[in-house]
Amino acid sequence: MRALLRNYVGGAWVETGRTFANINPVNGAKVCDVSEADAATVARAVEAASRARDGDWGRMGDEERAALLRRVADRIEARFDDFLEAEVADTGKSYPQARTIDIPRGAANFRIFADLIKAYPNESYEMTTPDGAGALNYSIRRPLGVVAVIAPWNLPLLLLSWKVAPAMAAGNAVIAKPSEETPSTATLLAEVMDEVGVPAGAFNLVHGFGPDSAGEFLTRHPDVDAITFTGESRTGTAIMKAAAERVKPISFELGGKNPAVVFADCNLDAAIAGVARAVFTNCGQVCMCTERVYVERPIFDRFVRGLKEKAEALTLGRPADTGVDTGPLISAGHRDKVLSYYRLAVEEGATVVTGGGVPRFGDERDEGFFIQPTVWTGLSDEARVCREEIFGPVCHVAPFDTEEEAVRRANDTDYGLCASVWTQNLSRGHRVAKRITAGLVWVNSWFLRDLRTPFGGVKLSGIGREGGIHSLNFYSEPSNICIKL
Ligand code: NAD
């Protein structure tokens, strides 16, 4: 692993005078230093991207771009272990998770969008004209130009490449800004772009923070043509204000407060296992994680008992330990935030069914950012911990009596990213899924999705849809050409 991660601008590695530390959340130790891009470095990245857009990269045909992106996927796979080690060091997530989800999906994104761009259809319509000769309309799609990609830390390579790959497939020049918490795999991705011969400026990487740092320098830059962002809803608001100045296209994948609705006619064991996965995966740090659970009253006590058992059976540990289910939270700051919600829940009158604190190991992990998986009951839907996104391994479980009530309470939120419904009644599954206002509703499952389907949220959970052709729709714009015959 490198001692200093640098910015990648116009095909060259760039250091600035300023660095920040990349910290391993398992033990609080420094992984490496990172060169923070200043305003001048971000401006150089925008210039380089603009030149690429107007130069070789902009003139490259779909076939050639697709071939390059496939080489990116191949090269990530060839350097799989480098990516794996880097992702695990930055996030503390278990090797099995990074090995089966983060890195392979990160590589797959480049292959998927390389294939899709070649099959992307254009429209054409013939129309009649008063002189009887007619006219032919057809659309062509143009890239947006210079696209800023701003990513979070929870699935670093996967979520960055989920945007970089379609943006580049559609012909845009990209400036990627990974989270300051997880800069390593993005830097490896820049190395890969360099190694496979992506033209200078087509992919640029700037490191840094949000406000008054690389993130804001990028979103406020007048020559950035579009912004695609995954992160907190509050950050989305700040970026939207920056984008409003020049009415830039935006695509936002934001926070959630996702419900699970468990009916008495469900397969109880499957529902308990499914909801436990939805609450505790990646230490609760997946935007699709469940934080509100509504359970039909006849099975409420059994469900809570079952979820408590699942939570208490989770093994917290280091990425390389065998049988580890859950790693740490990403940072000391995030652990303090989640712990403040643990305290608030008690102040608001919650019954702590399990967890609620910080585990003690008696080894280096005590310097890391571990937290106990936690389950609460007994709060009203108005409690702050039932309304605000916590982004930790925690949920509140509440009983309900009717389907109508369950739907109303599931929808009583400022967010609308996803939901899960647990029932063996097929009609009810369809009916409730249709009535829940969220971008994605699972019936009897969670975190299952064909990558071609639309992904995104409603309300505070986002704007727009990405995934498959929906991504290409965002990263390119149609122009209509009308030929009088
Ligand atoms: P965050 O909003 O704090 O940061 C995300 C990125 O935005 C980082 O790269 C950060 O440096 C940058 N940033 C912060 N402020 C900025 C500003 N003012 N201008 C420009 N850039 C700025 O989010 P996070 O803590 O990294 O990630 C966790 C959040 O992401 C949670 O809310 C989670 O729900 C959400 N998330 C959503 C999805 C989704 O698909 N909907 C997926 C993953 C995570």
303 & 327 share domain: yes
Would you call 23 helix, strand, or coil by DSSP? Answer: strand
Report CA-CA distances (Å) from 445 to 2, 90, 229, 281, 466: 40, 29, 27, 14, 21
- Answer yes or no: is the C-beta of 230 below 6 A from any ligand 1 atom: yes
58 & 175 share domain: yes
- Answer yes or no: is the C-beta of 467 below 6 A from any ligand 1 atom: no
Does residue 154 sit within a domain?
Answer: yes
> What's residue 471's pLDDT?
98
Does residue 321 sit within a domain?
Answer: yes
Does residue 450 sit within a domain?
Answer: no
> What's residue 460's pLDDT?
98
200 & 88 share domain: yes
Number of structural domains (the chain) is: 2
Per-residue pLDDT of the chain (485 residues; tens, 9 = 90+): 789 999 999 999 999 999 999 999 999 999 999 999 999 999 999 999 999 999 999 999 999 999 999 999 999 999 999 999 999 999 999 999 999 999 999 999 999 999 999 999 899 999 999 999 999 999 999 999 999 999 999 999 999 999 999 999 999 999 999 999 999 999 999 999 999 999 999 999 999 999 999 999 999 999 999 999 999 999 999 999 999 999 999 999 999 999 999 999 999 999 999 999 999 999 999 999 999 999 999 999 999 999 999 999 999 999 999 999 999 999 999 999 999 999 999 999 999 999 999 999 999 999 999 999 999 999 999 999 999 999 999 999 999 999 999 999 999 999 999 999 999 999 999 999 999 999 999 999 999 999 889 999 999 999 999 999 999 999 999 999 999 99
Task: Report the C-alpha gap between 333 and 354 in whole angstroms.
Answer: 23
Does residue 453 sit within a domain?
Answer: no
Half-sphere exposure of 417 (CA within 13 A, CB side): 26
Q: How far is the CA of 232 from the centre of ligand 1 (A)?
A: 4
Task: Report the C-alpha gap between 263 and 225 in whole angstroms.
Answer: 47
Does residue 211 sit within a domain?
Answer: yes
Report CA-CA distances (Å) from 226 to 116, 130, 164, 248: 21, 40, 13, 5
* Containing structural domain, residue 135: 4-254+459-484
Q: How far is the CA of 155 from the centre of ligand 1 (A)?
A: 11
pTM of the model: 0.97
193 & 122 share domain: yes
Does residue 409 sit within a domain?
Answer: yes
Does residue 454 sit within a domain?
Answer: no
Strands 19-23 and 12-14: unpaired
Q: Which atom of ligand 1 is nearest to the CA of 181?
A: 26
**DSSP letters along 158-171, please?**
HHHHHHHHHHHHTT
Asked if 482 and 135 count as a contact pair (C-beta separation under 8 A), the reply is: yes
- Answer yes or no: is the C-beta of 441 below 6 A from any ligand 1 atom: no
Task: Report the C-alpha gap between 349 and 295 in whole angstroms.
Answer: 20
Nearest-CA residue for atom 17 of ligand 1: 210
227 & 97 share domain: yes
> What's residue 37's pLDDT?
98
216 & 269 share domain: no
82 & 231 share domain: yes
175 & 312 share domain: no
Query: In this structure, which amino acid lies at residue 266?
Result: C
402 & 470 share domain: no
478 & 329 share domain: no
- Answer yes or no: is the C-beta of 236 below 6 A from any ligand 1 atom: no
Phi, psi of 292 (to 5 degrees): -125, 125
Asked if 330 and 154 count as a contact pair (C-beta separation under 8 A), the reply is: yes
> What count of other Cβ atoms lies within 10 Å of the Cβ of residue 323?
8
Does residue 449 sit within a domain?
Answer: no
Q: SS3 helix, strand, coil % of the chain, rounded to 5? A: 40, 20, 35
- Give the CATH number of the domain where residue 276 resides: 3.40.309.10
293 & 201 share domain: no
281 & 422 share domain: yes
Would you call 16 helix, strand, or coil by DSSP? Answer: coil
Burial class (CB in 10 A: 0-12, 13-18, 19+), 130: exposed
- Give the CATH number of the domain where residue 106 resides: 3.40.605.10
> What's residue 451's pLDDT?
87
